[in-house]
């Protein structure tokens, strides 16, 4: 039980330190930057414009 609590305490301390340093350097939080990056690269795959999708399927 002691090893588990020690590992948990060290993990929380390291995570807090990383988060604090990251917040000082960046305006957006880590999760916001990750979502922006993922959404930006996959945005074309989830478009809902049926005319554009059919044009791409027809090869026009």
Task: Select the more confidently predicted residue: 38 or 44.
Answer: 38
CA distance 14 to 18: 6
Residue 57 — pLDDT band, cuts 50, 70, 90?
confident
Q: 22 is in which domain, residue-wise?
A: 2-58
* Stated pTM of the model: 0.50
Q: For residue 58, how many C-alpha atoms fall within 13 Å in the half-sphere facing its CB?
A: 7
Q: What's the total number of domains in the chain?
A: 1
Q: How far is CA 60 from the centre of its chain?
A: 34
Check if the beta carbon of residue 29 is closer than 8 Å to that of residue 23: yes
């Amino acid at each position: 039980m002691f090893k588990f609590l020690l590992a948990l305490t060290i993990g929380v301390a390291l995570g807090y330190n990383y988060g604090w340093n990251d917040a000082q350097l960046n305006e957006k939080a880590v999760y916001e930057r990750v979502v922006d990056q993922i959404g930006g690269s996959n945005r074309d795959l989830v478009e809902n414009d049926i005319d554009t999708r059919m044009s791409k399927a027809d090869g026009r």
